[in-house]
Each structure stands twice: as structure tokens, then as C-alpha cells.
Amino acid sequence: MGALSRRELAALVDEATVDTYDEHEQVSGLFAAIEENLSVPFSTLVLGVEVTVRKVDLARDGRIVALCTRGGFRQTIGLLDLPLPDPAPDGAEWVAAYRYYWAQ
């Protein structure tokens, strides 16, 4: 996936958050788009260690997180902090849209 322009990212955010009324609903809309479109599982490096991203989830605190595993260990990592592999998995444009949403 090549880098998306601000206009393209804004269009994705608009698509995911149409008919939402507050921040909670907007994040829920972005989560639904990510969950529906991001191809999991995929491998990535976290602090130099390879992990497998098994799924994304909406945490109790309202953040979208990735459930990562390595061996018998599990860890959630905020999607804002998760490094994506190169090449990025299908649907990674929705992760970029979520990051764009929070950067505004």
C-alpha cells in the first residue's frame, strides 16, 4: 500500500463515521471498518520481536487495539502504536485512516 493523501484519508474517515454523533460512535465506526477490512492474521515486529496480529478489538477505554501473540504469550497493543509490516496487509488503509483521525 502506498501512502495515502490527506484527502484520501479524510474520505475514508468520512465513510466510516457517516451518521455518527460523537467521538465514541466515530471510533466505533472506524473499528467496524478496520475489523471488516484488515486481513488478519499477519506478522509484524514489535520492539524487534516478531509477533502475529490475530485480530483487532475495541478496548474498554475506547482505543482500537491489536491482539498480538508470540508463542504462548498474548499482548494487546494500541493500533496507534503498532508498526505495520512492509508490505502492509490488505485493509491497512483503514489503520492509516484511524491514525489520521487521531492526528487531527
Q: What is the pLDDT of residue 1?
A: 56
Task: Give me the helices (H) in the chain, please.
Answer: 6-17, 23-37, 92-103
**Residue 104: band (very low, low, confident or very high) from pLDDT cuts 50, 70, 90:** confident
pLDDT in tens, 85-98: 999 999 999 999 99
Q: What is the pLDDT of residue 70?
A: 97
pTM of the model: 0.94
* Strands lying side by side in the sheet with 73-78: 42-46, 49-58, 64-70, 73-78
